[in-house]
Each structure stands twice: as structure tokens, then as C-alpha cells.
Amino acid sequence: METVSKARSHGGIQGVYRHEAETTRCPMTFAVYLPPQAETEKVPVLWYLSGLTCTHANVMDKGEYRRAAARHGIAIVAPDTSPRGPEVPDEPDNWQFGCGAGFYVDATQAPYDRNYRMWSYVTEELPALVAREFPVDMERQGIFGHSMGGHGALTIALRHPDRFRSCSAFAPIVQPSTAGWSKPALAKYLGEDEAAWRRHDATALIEDGHRFPEFLVDQGTADSFLDDGLRPWLLEEACQKAGIGLTLTMREGYDHSYFFISTFMDDHIAWAAERMRK
């Protein structure tokens, strides 16, 4: 593991790191914020999954999470959204697919199946590396994300309910198998058999019996992707039928940007901290 940069922030350390990933077969970069408490003890870890077109840097530079993370004594890990590099197949003119749009799935279709294995990367390889290299308590984990990353957080939590104590999301894609801006990507990564997509669709997972105790979701009412891509009411309906707790707050006038995310970041970190203390 290579250290790209380190900086002191709110008494802790914001670091950026790079390593050769076996799952994605390319170098992967990720960010880790260690709060000051990590100097003397292992701390809970909260995973943040970013959205379309993003890298680890978007939330690190604009998410404004370090003050709250330091106050609650929580490490924040922000992976990249997809494999990158000259050998990685891409559609440079399509922001909804390829580099920056890995959708946190393990692709099964050539040529994407060689590199686009973000599910295995964020659920297996990177957690093992973080547990080995940083003072984190892997018995106290939470996960959250934005947009495509909110989709990833919901599906990972539903399929690993014993691993995570909290899950929340900013403007998540709750039903990517039918959303206009995610359905084409799932077809390219996973093939045309839509039954295979259900393992990466939060509402379908709930319909199929997967459970998680409760979710926190914030959604802006001025989000231009609300009606076509996000549709939080579908998650609300699925959770109501399954008896899953859902705190869904529609934030009047907020859009899809990091101005929205940073405004409510403290709420999500406090939500995770409360559940990781239990």
C-alpha cells in the first residue's frame, strides 16, 4: 500500500492511499480519515460509497465529514467508484457507464468482467486491507453513500446485515433495475437476464426476503433526477410491506449536489455513531 498524501484535520489524519487491487486488476485509490481517538484505540469504521462520475476525492473535498467524525470518534473510508486505467474498458462519452460508474457490482459480461468487480472490492478486498493497515474495529461498521453509492450501500447492507450496524443514504437509486439511468448499465455489466439484476436492487432484495433493521434516507425535492432515477417512494413502499424501519426526509429545495450532502452529513454520521455504540 502506497501513501499518496496525509494531512492533519480536526485533530485526526486525512490520508489518501493507493494499492494494486487483485479484484479489479488495476491500481485503486481510496481515502481514510482517522479521528484523534485512533491514536490510542481502535475506532468504528463508516464506509462512504460515492455516486456517478465521482472518485474518493469528491466527498473528501466537499463532504465536510471530518468535524463530525472526530467528535464521534469514527473512521471514514471512501473507496473509488470503479476501476481505472488505460487497460480498463470504458465508454468515455457515457457518464452513466464505465469508469466512474461501476455501480458496485461484479460484472459477468465481457469485456467488463475482468476489471469491473467493485462488489468484491468494497465488500472483501478493501475491508481486509483496511483492517490490516489501520486501527479500526471491524465489529463496529456502518455504511452510507450518495446516489449510485446510496444504491451500493443499501444493497450491501441488505446482503450483509450481520456486518453493519447502520446504513443510510443521500438520494439513492433505490430501484436501479427499472431506472432510466441505471438499467442500461446493469444490462452491460450483468447481461440481459433481469433476474440476475435483483441481487443489486434494494427494492427487489427486500421483496426477495432480505432484511436490515432500519434505514435513514435524505432526498432533495429539487433534485433533477428524482422522478426518473431515484424514486425514494419505491423504497418506502418496500420497507412498509416488509416491516423495515425507514426514516425518509424530503428536504425542500435541495438538489443532488454536495451542497445538499454536506448540509446533512452530520446527521448521518450521528445516526451511524449512535448505532455503532450499541
Q: Which residues touch 224 (CB under 8 Å, ≥6 apart)? A: 255, 256
Q: What is the pLDDT of residues 109-151, one digit of tens each?
A: 999 999 999 999 999 999 999 999 999 999 999 999 999 999 9
pLDDT at residue number 180: 87
Find the Cα–Cα–Cα–Cα dihedral 103, 105, 106, 107, rounded to 10°. -50
Task: Based on the residue annotation, tell me whether 223 is a catalytic residue of this protein.
Answer: yes
Instruction: Answer for the pair 135, 112: CB distance below 8 angstroms, yes or no.
Output: no
Cell 451542497, located at residue: 259
Per the residue annotation, which of 80, 106, 218, 223 is the catalytic one?
Answer: 223
Per the residue annotation, which of 56, 151, 200, 256 is the catalytic one?
Answer: 256
Nearest in space to 46 (alpha carbons), one of 14, 13, 16, 74: 74
Task: Based on the residue annotation, tell me whether 200 is a catalytic residue of this protein.
Answer: no
- CA 198, 199, 202, 204 dihedral sign is positive
Instruction: Answer for the pair 200, 103: CB distance below 8 angstroms, yes or no.
Output: yes
Q: What is the pLDDT of residues 190-224, one digit of tens each?
A: 999 999 999 999 999 999 999 999 999 999 999 99
pTM of the model: 0.97
Per the residue annotation, which of 147, 166, 177, 182 is the catalytic one?
Answer: 147
- The CATH H-level (homologous superfamily) assignment of domain 2-276 is Alpha/Beta hydrolase fold, catalytic domain (3.40.50.1820)
Task: Based on the residue annotation, tell me whether 256 is a catalytic residue of this protein.
Answer: yes
Give 72-123 as a DSSP string: HT-EEEE--SS--STTS---TT-TTSBTTB-TT-B--STTGGGT-BHHHIII
